[in-house]
Amino acid sequence: MSDYLTRKRICVLPGDGIGIEVMEAALPVLKALNLPFDLEFGDIGWECWKREGNTVPDETWEKINQCDATLLGAITSKPLAETEAELPPHLQGQNRRYVSPVIQLRQNLDLYANVRPVTDITGENRFRFVVIRENTEGLYAGLDYGRIPDQFLPLLQEREALGAPWRREGQEDATISVRLQTRSGLERIFEYAFDYASRHGFDRVTFVDKPMVLRHSSAFTRGVFESVAKGYPGIEGVIENVDAVALWMVQRPERFSVVVAENMFGDILSDLGAGVMGGLGFAPSGNFGKLGAYFEPVHGSAPAHAGLNKANPSAMFMTIALMLEHLGYPQEAQYVTAAVSRVARSSVRTYDMGGSHSTAQVGEAIIGECVSMAALNWAQPCVPTSPLGATHAQAL
Ligand code: NAI
Ligand code: MG
């Protein structure tokens, strides 16, 4: 098999703040593991906005579109007033709209599944689950209004007629946000969740909703969930209340396997999952769709820590592990995950783990562990495998 056929192109976007430092510390693991990857570096984030009023420059889009996967560090977003104020003078007053690069990536590539595995980094295997968040609709569909638009008044009047009065403070003194869920949007995220379960050896998918309060929309989502579940007879599909799931995730995380939820519930539960895992310093994420995939740590740019070489790079390593699994290198992904766990249990720790080691030192320790784990297998050539073990070489 020629090298040309197995080489993968990765678009590397360090972004802002600690994103740059954790990327710098973790990226050398690809070379240390001798992986046949070509890296394309691109700009993204707040510095691009400040320079050209565009958080994702055209050249960056070109790179993203040409590559097999995108790896993002972190980006900075700021409130509306600052987005205008920090533009260069010649770009001010043009009504330029700031859209977070993360949102742009998800929307333009239609990356509907946000996947956040929660693993026990202590190595004790007390829990292993994943939160799969729908990325494109739900309460974050963009139907969010800082006043009540005229179009909603008939609905509020109808509600009033049913005995649920609206406190009439005027359209300017109330807001409204709409939870949009479509049959096709639900079907694809549920199918993704059940497929994920069968690929990763889980026997249950928990759909998180609020059926007793959001009665009508939840009756609809339930119908779609149950019909998708029928296609996966070996996997149990259950529906649970979001508040109860939050409680159990903290108290009995071992109860969960694949957890799937609409955008806002999934957003909250996936950060809760990061907490269960040991904090933002460890939590990885991947975003998947038919047009591509991008990977980023759950944490943001942590401006207070930026440039101090103190952020924990573990989340970036775990994110790289997700990317390796996606690209057909599950063995190397396991080395990286196991190395993060080993170092987390050692005395080489960043401040968030009660230590005083730097980002670079923890990064070097993790890479050192990876290399020793991989050493035994280095006699064999590096051939990508699918998550199920069949080699891509055979498919080619
Ligand atoms: P953040 O995740 O950047 O930081 C919150 C706190 O968590 C930090 O102050 C720090 O104490 C801790 N922390 C985060 N990552 C850490 C690491 N690797 N090691 C050790 N400690 C870590 O969230 P915050 O402060 O709400 O947002 C800061 C900026 O990041 C904002 O501009 C926000 O818009 C952006 N952001 C970007 C995200 C992304 O790139 N996807 C996600 C979340 C926030
Ligand atoms: Mg979040």
Residues 236, 255: Cα–Cα separation, whole Å: 13
H-assigned helices in the chain: 3-6, 18-26, 28-32, 46-52, 58-66, 80-85, 101-108, 153-161, 183-200, 215-230, 242-251, 263-277, 314-326, 330-344, 359-375, 392-395
Q: Mean pLDDT for each consecutive 10-residue tract of the chain (396 residues)? A: 75 98 98 96 96 94 96 93 90 87 91 96 93 95 92 90 78 93 98 97 97 96 98 97 98 97 96 94 96 94 97 98 96 96 96 96 98 76 43 29
* Residue located nearest, by CA, to atom 40 of ligand 1: 74
Note whether 259 and 314 are same-domain residues. Answer: no
pLDDT at 4: 59
**Residue 287 Cβ < 6 Å to ligand 1:** no
Note whether 164 and 255 are same-domain residues. Answer: no
Note whether 128 and 264 are same-domain residues. Answer: yes
* Residue located nearest, by CA, to atom 10 of ligand 1: 302
Note whether 173 and 191 are same-domain residues. Answer: no
Note whether 166 and 106 are same-domain residues. Answer: no
Per the structure, the complete domain to which residue 208 belongs is given by: 122-139+182-277
CA of 266 relative to ligand 2 center, distance in Å = 9
Last residue of a domain, one of 227, 255, 277: 277
CA of 276 relative to ligand 1 center, distance in Å = 17
pLDDT at 394: 29
**Residue 13 Cβ < 6 Å to ligand 1:** no
Last residue of a domain, one of 277, 293, 320: 277
pLDDT at 5: 64
DSSP string of 125-179, one letter each residue: ---EEEEEEE-SSBTTSS-EESS--GGGHHHHHHHHHTT-------GGG--EE--
pLDDT tens string 303-361? 999 999 999 999 999 999 999 999 999 999 999 999 999 999 999 999 999 999 999 99
pLDDT at 164: 78
Note whether 86 and 36 are same-domain residues. Answer: yes
**Residue 302 Cβ < 6 Å to ligand 1:** yes
Beta-carbon count within 10 A of 294 CB: 24
Domains: count for the chain:
3
pLDDT at 386: 43
* Residue located nearest, by CA, to atom 43 of ligand 1: 300
**Residue 304 Cβ < 6 Å to ligand 1:** yes
* Residue located nearest, by CA, to atom 36 of ligand 1: 300
Q: Tell me whether strands 204-209 and 258-261 are parallel, antiparallel or unpaired.
A: parallel
Note whether 127 and 229 are same-domain residues. Answer: yes
CA of 72 relative to ligand 1 center, distance in Å = 14
Note whether 29 and 104 are same-domain residues. Answer: yes
Note whether 41 and 106 are same-domain residues. Answer: yes
CATH number of the domain within which 135 lies: 3.40.50
Note whether 202 and 240 are same-domain residues. Answer: yes
Looking at the CA of residue 303, tell me the nearest atom of ligand 1.
Answer: 28
pLDDT tens string 217-243? 999 999 999 999 999 999 999 999 999
- Residue 285 and residue 115 in contact, taking contact as beta carbons nearer than 8 Å: yes
Measured from the alpha carbon of residue 309, the closest ligand is 1
Residues 6+ apart with CB under 8 A from 103: none
Note whether 259 and 322 are same-domain residues. Answer: no
* Residue located nearest, by CA, to atom 25 of ligand 1: 302
Phi, psi of 38 (to 5 degrees): -110, 130
Residues 68, 70: Cα–Cα separation, whole Å: 7
C-alpha distances out from residue 254 to 124, 276, 340, Å: 12, 11, 21
Ligand 1 pocket test target in 280, 317, 351 with most atoms within 8 Å of CB: 280
Amino acid at 217: S
Ligand 1 pocket test target in 18, 80, 280, 299 with most atoms within 8 Å of CB: 299
Burial 201-214 (b: 16+ CB within 10 A, else e): ebeebbbbbbbeeb
Note whether 227 and 341 are same-domain residues. Answer: no
Q: Count the residues in the chain.
A: 396
Global pTM reads 0.90
